[in-house]
Amino acid sequence: MLPSVSTLWPEPPPPTADEVAARLRTERRGHVLAMRMERTDKRNAIDVAMTTALDTALTTLDDDPELRCGVLTGGPEAFSAGTDISVGPGAPTPRGGNYGVVARRRTTPLIAAVEGIAFGGGFEIALACDFVIASTTARFALPEVGLGLAANCGALFRGPRALPPSVARQMLLTGDPLPVERAHELGFVTELVEPGRAEARALELADRVAARSPVAVQATLQALDAALRDADNRGWADTDDAVARVVASEDRVEGVAAFFAKRAPEFTGR
């Protein structure tokens, strides 16, 4: 089951090939595919071109038998600020779901390398990866409730799985950031490194994964995925229910309007 198409934004025109190419830089390093989001002026906020680029790269990662591990990063300043609220991320893709990432049934391991913010959908992309390497500059947050929205890319069920449920609830219900040191202490961040070192360390670990038996790694990943499949399907259905409720609310309209006006929202609970 894939999350339903959001009704918050009109359907955007298809991105051009140049727009897609500009959003994500990919590099093959032996059996490892390194992917870097490159929309620094928008803190790697995800629009339809970014969704298309991510979906294409991750499909290559899964379908090319020469690739055994992937690393996804946003560069030294920001991992991702999540959805570009001004235009939306485009429709979920058939294989990847939202952003081309979060509902994908991957057969190849994927490591997130986080510097700077991973907010909203950026955090949810990290939650969808197999493990997370972060520098001391990283910050994680789920600020959707402050916009009158609900997290719709997996955090409602993956958050309480990756973190103690009480911590996930606090993030989801307050929108307050989780310091990276705390995220490491709680086990969500696998390794904490110095600023500027997250991608390099993630690539080192990707090389270690790639040196192992591809058959054994793939079988292990698929078994782990199968163990969570039923829970994930229920999680996506419950997420769709939550999103449908907020989409129909006046609070959602007020929250988004306040965001663009750079003012505090005045929620009414309707």
User: What positions carry a catalytic annotation?
Assistant: 124, 144
- Token pair listed for 191: 């390794």
Place of tokens 């907020």: 246
> The sheet that has 32-37: what strands, in order across it?
24-29, 32-37, 69-73, 110-114, 131-135, 189-193
Q: What is 203-263 written as a DSSP string?
A: HHHHHHHHTS-HHHHHHHHHHHHHHHHHHHHHHHHHHHHHHHHHHTSHHHHHHHHHHHHTS
Structure tokens of 143? 């600020």
CB of 4 closer than 8 Å to CB of 152: no
Residue 135 and residue 192 in contact, taking contact as beta carbons nearer than 8 Å? yes
And the tokens for 205? 């670990």
